Chains A and B, each alone.
Chain A
């Protein structure tokens, strides 16, 4: 859990080393991604999507995660704050069909959230697309939002999606310029403390 900085005030002829260190830590928290909560998770696997079924994506691999929020599926918040999140997903589209897919973020409140009952779920940041009459290629989307609720330790964030057509959620397969060309990821950062 990151420590939210307490910014000091200085008196005339103040020689307090503690105050200088508090200010130094506040600056580190603001500018250093090894201090401030930030994460980049991804998956290297494809996933078979069942039609008309809400799927929770798993991002088991970590590029960076300085606040240890990764829980193997999405994130479990460790430090209270407002967070901005983004995800990138690509779905294999079958030529000549009409395919609708929507992705979004799900917040599940934990026991420490004073504003939401433990277990409450909230959806936010949805993006949904329709593809039709294309050649075989990917339906790609990049939902992004600030979570509309302040998050507290134990709150969970997930990436979910639903498609009306059975398909494959792709990963980077390096075999085509129109399909399977990027790795699904889930990134986030603290915007400001609560």
Chain B
């Protein structure tokens, strides 16, 4: 479901504007009003902290087909561009020290070729709590690499010390993962 990146026409002085050019401008506005955005969350809880996290079992909204029930560990770009992302992991790990980071992996449309992993970005860490108030690590930012159709982002977590941590959803805001197209 790749959306078409709008081509904004050049309109020099003296130029007689055509209907096609006006419709190109309209298409640009339509694209921006309906740009790719996706939000998924952990609707079950109890997922082990892993690399990558497999907890994105519930789609809240997805305007560009970036989430797939067959690949619940990732959000896959359908429309190339620069993307803003948000992610958070909520846990009730019993005093465990936990961390996670974000990573992108290239697809076949990326000039680097497929399967190239980015460096780790936006690492978060916390000492988890087994009682309320629970703990949640969050990160957000604009991804530092231009993403091509087929590239995907994953959330990669681990338990650094203490008992293995799991995700938790009861009475708290659940773990979440979201992306928004920002620019071509």
Chain A: residues with CB nearer than 8 A to chain B? Answer: 4-5, 7-14, 19, 23, 26-27, 29-30, 52, 82, 84, 86, 100-102, 104-105, 123-130, 132, 142-146, 148-150, 161-164, 191-193
Given A125-B173, A146-B39, is A7 in contact with B127 using a C-beta cutoff of 8 Å? Answer: no
Contact check, A144 vs B140: say whether CB atoms are below 8 A apart. Answer: yes
In the bound assembly, the distance between CA atoms of A100 and B32 in angstroms comes to 41
Contact count A vs B, C-beta below 8 Å: 131
Closest to B178 in A: A146
Closest approach, in angstroms, between the C-beta of B19 and any C-beta of chain A?
Answer: 5
In the bound assembly, the distance between CA atoms of A142 and B131 in angstroms comes to 22
Is B160 in the interface zone, CB < 8 Å from A? no
Given A10-B26, A12-B19, is A148 in contact with B39 using a C-beta cutoff of 8 Å? Answer: yes
Closest approach, in angstroms, between the C-beta of A30 and any C-beta of chain B?
Answer: 5
Closest to B30 in A: A7
Closest to A31 in B: B32
Closest approach, in angstroms, between the C-beta of A57 and any C-beta of chain B?
Answer: 15
Q: Could you say which of A5, A11, A191 contacts B180, with CB atoms under 8 Å apart?
A: A191
Q: Could you say which of B26, B35, B129 contacts A192, with CB atoms under 8 Å apart?
A: B35
For B34, list chain A residues within 8 Å (CB).
192
Interfacial residues of chain B within 69-103, with CB under 8 A of chain A in the complex: 86, 88, 90
Closest to B127 in A: A130
**Range for the number of chain B residues in contact with chain A:** 35 or more
For B88, list chain A residues within 8 Å (CB).
125-127, 143, 145
Given A129-B135, A144-B86, is A14 in contact with B127 using a C-beta cutoff of 8 Å? Answer: no
In the bound assembly, the distance between CA atoms of A143 and B172 in angstroms comes to 14
Q: Which of the listed residues A4, A9, A100, A126 has the most CB atoms from chain B within 10 Å of its own CB?
A: A126
In the bound assembly, the distance between CA atoms of A193 and B134 in angstroms comes to 33
B interface, by DSSP: helix, strand, loop or mixed? mixed
Given A82-B61, A101-B133, A191-B180, is A146 in contact with B86 using a C-beta cutoff of 8 Å? Answer: yes
Closest to B176 in A: A145
Q: Could you say which of A5, A124, A129 contacts B176, with CB atoms under 8 Å apart?
A: A124
- Report B35-75 CB contacts with A as 1/0, cut-off 8 Å: 10101010000000000000000001101000000000000
Is B23 in the interface zone, CB < 8 Å from A? yes
Closest approach, in angstroms, between the C-beta of B179 and any C-beta of chain A?
Answer: 9
Interfacial residues of chain B within 86-133, with CB under 8 A of chain A in the complex: 86, 88, 90, 126-129, 131-133
Contact check, A82 vs B37: say whether CB atoms are below 8 A apart. Answer: yes
In the bound assembly, the distance between CA atoms of A12 and B125 in angstroms comes to 59
Contact check, A27 vs B29: say whether CB atoms are below 8 A apart. Answer: yes
Interfacial residues of chain B within 135-165, with CB under 8 A of chain A in the complex: 135-138, 140
Contact check, B29 vs A148: say whether CB atoms are below 8 A apart. Answer: no
Closest approach, in angstroms, between the C-beta of B166 and any C-beta of chain A?
Answer: 15
